[in-house]
Amino acid sequence: MSEIPTTIHGLLAAYRRGLLTPLEVVDHHLAHLARVEPKLNAFAVVDRDGARQAAQQSTSRWQRGDRVGDLEGVPITVKDIVAMAGLPTREGSRVTSELKALVDSPVVARLREAGAVILGKTTTPEFGWKGVTDSPAFGTTRSPWNPEFSPGGSSGGAAAALAAGVGVAAHGNDGGGSIRIPASYCGLIGLKPTFGRVPQAPVESPYATLVANGPLARSVEDAALLLNVMSRPDIRDWHAIPHQSGDWRIGLNDGLRGVRIGYTERLGGAAVDPEVRRACRSAVDRLAIDGYDVTELDEVIEPLRPQFESYWKAGFAHRLRTIPAPRHNDLDPDFRKLAEEGLDVTVEEIDAAYAARARLVARMRRLHLDFDLLITPTMPTPPPRADVVYHSSLFDRWDHAVPFTVPFNLTGQPAVSVPVGLTGLGLPIGLQIVANHFREDLILRAARVLLDLLAWRWPDPNLARRIAVLQA
């Protein structure tokens, strides 16, 4: 069997040339998954039988020359926070139903229609509540770069699996940084599209207008192709924006000449670790040295904790009210504590948060009159240890997890994290690129330019060595 390509585009090229079949590739990934999973704990459930059946069907279609879609035979994972027919949706919780979902969520339906082969569902913290991945139902997920450290969250299982070489792409979703945080910590490309770009259902949650489904990938081209597929319309989502036909890969090589770039390490008063600052500033300096128009900015926005702490807790309280009181002891104790605090949040506090969101959107729209792109570090600190207590002094939500990511959930803008360096311990550092609403094309172009300047290629040799150790 030929060597297995590590990107979607490479894999599809191998299929077209008849060098590999989807069944061969999926069997390879399932075998690799079995070797690394005991040390990573990245999967809530592995759908071995379903994946092999789908791969066999895809193999037959390739052999007949009638592939069904743009991801024909591509092995991918789905985060266990959206419905996938035939499997339960546990959301990292012991209080959710073990019954199998009857229908696919919109993003899963689009992936299947495009011919993707879903290997299984990846881990998330309970209800996706935090920026690391551990849960009462499935335990602690670890980074393939170093299992002593966290891959981030809440799409931590997705990122850990993909970084470890399981699948060639991953689905995640992002309500406060949950795609971009693990992308940064795992050395991947993580794209949060404009809110409404990728249909989702159901949309009853108080956080519904913060959340965007999107891809984790190993190349900009792959991220763009996944956006093509994931963004196709679904009538179940009344928040969805009108579908934009076309191909997000077109224009990736157009560069950034004439594009005005603002850079800040101090967004909302954030404090950045020196190692992160050096890597991010070095990457931005490369843009300036190459002649791109880069301006350093100040804090840009006010600190968000005073405006949105109550709003954050109130969303947890909404979920808590749906869970029978006798089951509350089965919840993540830290989630339960915050949810119980949220029970006291008033309507006036919620109204104040909505008003603050409107002001934040207005501020960012004014910024984009002068700057086409805003660049920041993705994370203010290196990855924390896997056993860190979230929202504690060691890893505070507002100070250490989301100061650079959550603003753009609140505004709904598209943002992408790209890898730009490693810490002294050999752990990844990411840089975030943000644009005005609907300008995914611009952040994808910028990601391509930056990664080309840095000569970034997958896989990093350091990671390749560590994956070999995981398999031992």
Q: What type of residue sits at position 363?
A: R
265 CB contacts (<8 Å, ≥6 apart)?
Answer: 272, 277, 280, 281, 376, 377
Tell me the three-class secondary structure of 112-134, residue by residue.
Answer: HHCCCEEEEEECCCHHHCCCCCE
The Cα–Cα gap between 238 and 233 comes to 11
Is 154 catalytic? The answer is: yes
Among residues 58, 155, 178, 219, which one is catalytic? Answer: 178
Number of C-beta neighbours around residue 437 at 10 A: 18
- Is 130 noted as a catalytic residue in this protein? no
Torsion of CA 26, 30, 32, 34, to 10 degrees: 180
The tokens for 15 are 């299929």
> Which residue type, as a one-letter code, is found at position 261?
I
- Residue 93 known to be catalytic: no
CA 438 to chain centre: 18
Q: Going by C-beta distance under 8 Å and a sequence separation of 6 or more, which residues neighbour residue 408?
A: 192, 414, 415, 434
453 burial (CB, 10 Å; 0-12 / 13-18 / 19+) is middle
**Which residue's entry shows tokens 């500033």?**
281
Q: What is the DSSP string of 223-269?
A: HHHHHHHHTS--TT-TTPPPP--S-TTTTTTS--TT-EEEE-S-GGG
Catalytic residue among 143, 150, 154, 310: 154
Catalytic option among 79, 130, 192, 313: 79
Sign of the Cα torsion 431, 312, 124, 274 reads: positive
| 146 CB-contact burial (10 Å; exposed 0-12 / middle 13-18 / buried 19+) | middle
Burial 374-388 (b: 16+ CB within 10 A, else e): bbbbbbbbbbbebeb
Q: Which residues are marked as active site?
A: 79, 154, 178
